[in-house]
Amino acid sequence: MLRAYTPAHIVFPLPEGHRFPLYKYAGVRDRLLGKLPILDAELIPWELAATVHDVAYLNRWRYGEMSRAEEREYGLPWSVQVVDRARGAAGGTLAAMQDALTSGWGINLAGGTHHAFRNKAEGFCLLNDVAICSHLALREGVVKRILVLDLDVHQGNGTASMLSGYPEVFTLSIHGERNYPFRKEKSTLDIGLPDGVTDLEYVQVLETQVKPALEAFKPDLVFYLAGVDVLSNDRFGRFSLSLQGVEQRDRWVFTWCFGAGVPVVSVMAGGYNKNPEMTVLAAAQTIEVGLNLK
Ligand SMILES: [Zn+2]
């Protein structure tokens, strides 16, 4: 049975005008209510996070002992709730992975925290949910070949770094070449695109570069980071995709995964539109597109 997970029940106060789009988690959940069951995500166990993250790093965040510089690089003021929310986002991906492996599609209405490194938080990312879950799935032997399809507008630098030693994992990132992170890590396949990419150009890249990679690698599990910061008018994106273009992108991905019978875990990743409603609309649309194809 299809269902989704969300950490939207874990909230925390943010300073007025703060750039973190906390609104989008509840917004997407509320928009999808009635379309599928939506469950509160459980907090990922610290021990599981410690299978890929540095334990001293985790403990600093667990007990609020990180430095001001670390806190600044993460981008959110520390609180128990902020850390719990990060654990809930990763817990949602964990539950969604279990769903994907049984029903073909697992849905987390958060996660895709791809800027988290083994021992460093960055860009609102504390725990690398996809790295934690990939490690677990491989260790348990439930899958042999994982593809991380990172279509957030920013490079999945943390994921690329954390999974670089895993030959069973293919990390694929399409991102703005001139956008943050300015020092890129090396994914298995990096597709850096210029500013202002349009719907048509984006879909062409999927057809000509992503499709051959998917077909050659033959994954038995896909993590899909469906960041909607590829939309035009995003505060931190530089692409020019329309809502319809994002719909085409999502349809392309789900059609490929469902058609090939490859379980897919969709996670939300970024979205910071200057019009907050657009972010909510586009992120909810990703799930609606999948529901229409399932
Ligand atoms: Zn992003």
| ω into 37 cis (within 30 of 0) | no
| 16 band by pLDDT with thresholds 50, 70 and 90 | confident
Amino acid 161: pLDDT: 98
Active-site entry in 9, 53, 114, 115: 115
Residue percentage of the chain with pLDDT more than 90 = 98
CA distance 115 to 181: 9
Mean pLDDT of the chain: 97
pLDDT at 17: 87
Query: What mean pLDDT comes out for the span 100-112?
Result: 98
- pLDDT tens for 240-261 read 999 999 999 999 999 999 999 9
Q: How far is the CA of 41 from the centre of ligand 1 (A)?
A: 22
CA distances from 260 to 61, 66, 263 (A): 40, 44, 9
- Where residue 15 falls among pLDDT bands split at 50, 70, 90? confident
Q: From the CA of 51, how far away is ligand 1's center (Å)?
A: 25
Q: What are the contacts of 163-169 at 24+ separation with CB within 8 A?
A: 163/130, 163/131, 163/134, 166/134, 166/135, 166/138, 168/138, 168/144, 169/134, 169/138, 169/145
Separation of CA 211 and ligand 1 centre (Å): 22
pLDDT band at 10 (very low <50, low <70, confident <90, very high): very high
What's 181's DSSP letter? Answer: P
Q: What Å distances lie between residue 293 and 1, 2, 141, 253, 267, CA to CA?
A: 15, 12, 29, 11, 17
115 is catalytic: yes
Domains and CATH numbers, the chain: 4-293 (3.40.800.20)
Tell whether the torsion through CA atoms of 187, 205, 217 and 294 is positive or negative.
Answer: positive
pLDDT in tens, 195-235: 999 999 999 999 999 999 999 999 999 999 999 999 999 99
Name 213's Cβ contacts closer than 8 Å, sequence gap at least 6. Answer: 170, 172, 189
Average pLDDT over residues 37-46: 98
Q: Which residues surround ligand 1, an ion (CB under 5 A)?
A: 152, 154, 227, 229, 270
For 149-196, write each residue's pLDDT tens digit: 999 999 999 999 999 999 999 999 999 999 999 999 999 999 999 999
- 286 pLDDT higher than 90: yes
Kindly give the distance from the C-alpha atom of residue 156 to the centroid of ligand 1, in angstroms, as a whole number. Answer: 8
Q: Name every residue whose Cβ is closer than 8 Å to that of residue 254 and which is 6 or more positions away in sequence.
A: 105, 264, 289, 290, 293, 294
Q: Is the pLDDT of residue 96 over 90?
A: yes
